[in-house]
Structure 1
C-alpha cells in the first residue's frame, strides 16, 4: 500500500496524532534515530485496537514505543508504523496489595505511588526511567529485585484485536528477558503483587538505591542505560560469579573510548553516551569494538541489553 493511501486509511480509523517522517531522535533517551514512516500517538484504546488490527490485516510492521529508553534506533529510521503509548496509557490503580499499571505508566512513578500506599516490592524501580510495558518486556530490575518477582499477570492485545491475559508463567521472565519480547503482542496493563509495609522502611530502601545509582551511574547525560547484560545475569558481588559487564569493559581500557560524539562513559563503562550529535552507526561500531576487546581478553561474549530497531 502506498504511503499516501496508508495515511488516508489510518486517519479514518485513528483520532489520535499521526505524523509522517517523524524523527525518532526526539523520542529516544539517547536522542538518536532516523525517521519513522508513520508515527502515531493513539487517543485511546479503540485507536490502538483499530491500528493494530489494520496493520495485521495489511501485513504492515509496527513497533510499540514507550519512553524510548534502552533503545538504539537506526539512522535510517523505522519502516511501517510506530505506536507511542507513553503519556496516555498510564493509569495506576490500587486494589488492596495489588497495583494495576498501564503499559505507558512511568515505572519509577509506579514505585513512588506504591511507597505512598505502604506497599513494598517496587523499591528497585527508583531511578529506572522506562515504562511499565518496557519493564515487562525486558524484566527490568536492580539490586533489590526485578519486575518478574512481583508480576502477577498482564493484559495484552493481539493483531486480531483480542485482549488476552498472560500469567507470570506464560511470560517465563528471565534476566532482562521475557517471552513476550519475541511476539507481536502489545502490553496494555500489568498487575503487580506487593506487600504491606511501613512507608518509612520502603522509603529508606528507595533512598539507599537512589544514592547508589547517583554514585555509580552517569547523570544528566543522553544515554540508553546499560548497553550490555551482565554475564550470566551476575552482579559480580558473590564469590565465583563472573564480573559485571562494566568491570570487564573498564579492564580492557574502553572507558572514554569514542567515535564521533558517541562516548563510553568515564563514570560507568557499561553506558555509551551521546555528547550531542552521535549517530547510531557510531554507537554500533563502539559496541562491536568493546565486544571484541572483552572477548579477546576474557573469552566472554557480551550480549546486548539494549534493543536495536530499524534498518541496519
Structure 2
C-alpha cells in the first residue's frame, strides 16, 4: 500500500473531493480552498510515494525497492532501484503552460547547464488518458491552416511580419523542409517579440474579438484563455497549435520536442521519470523561450493522433513507442 504525493499547483481544481479527482484519490478532507492539481505515484525525489506496509511504514518507495528488488522483477538492475516511469492523476481547471519536453540528449545538456530549472537528466515522453472530457493544445496545425489563421488575425500578422507571412504562403507548395523552416521562422517571430508589443497586439485582438458578431472556435478559445492569462503571448500560440478534445478513454502520446498545453479536465498520465519542462507561455514560472523555440520539431505538423486503445477483458491497452512504460 502506498501514499502518493499531492501537488497543489495553481492550475489545479479547487473544492476538494467534490470537484477534483486528485483530491478524491488523495482522500483529501481539509484545505478545500487549495487547488488539487496532481497526484504523483512513483520514486521521483521531488515527490516520492511513501510505503504504508507494516515494517516499512514511512519509507519512501525508491528506498523500499532498492531493499526489495524482487518487486522490480528481472529488469531491476537497469534502473538502479528506481521506477523508470512516473504515474500521475491530473485535475486541470485552467491552462497549463505552453511547453515541451526535451529528448535525452538535450535533457543532459539542460541539466548540466541549469540544475534548478532542469532537475533531471532524463527525457519525459508521456501518455495522457482522459478520465473525463479533456482538452488541450497538442502539436502544430498544418501549415495551410496556420496561414489561414494568420490571414484572419491581423494582430498575429503584425507580430509575424509581412516578409515571414509571404515566406509561409510561398512555402505551401514546396517540400516539407521548406514548410518547416517557414513555420519555425513565423513561430519564432511571435515568441521573440518584445513583451510590450505582444500585449499591445493581444489587447487589440481581444477587443476586436469581443466586439465581433460571430467567432470561430479558435477565437472563442482565445477569449476563454485570456480570462485566465490576460494578454499572454500564449494566446497567439493557439492559432499555431491543434485544439484537441478527448472523450474518456481516449489518449494522447506526447513525444519529445512537441509543443503542448493541457486546458481542462481530468486525466491519468504516465511518463518517463523526469520533471523537465521547457516553458514559454501561460505560466508565472520560469520561461525559457529560446530553448523552446530551438528544440521544437517543426516538420511534425497536422492533426494530433488520438489513441483509442485496444479493449481487452477488464482493461484497455495503449501501445506508445519507447521502453520507459
Assess same fold via TM > 0.5. Answer: no
TM-score class, shorter: under 0.3
- Between 1 and 2, higher relative CO (CA 8 Å, sep ≥ 6) is seen in 2
TM-score (norm 1): 0.25
Q: In proportion to residue count, which structure has more strand?
A: 1
For the pair shown, the structure with the greater C-alpha radius of gyration is 2
TM-score (norm 2): 0.24
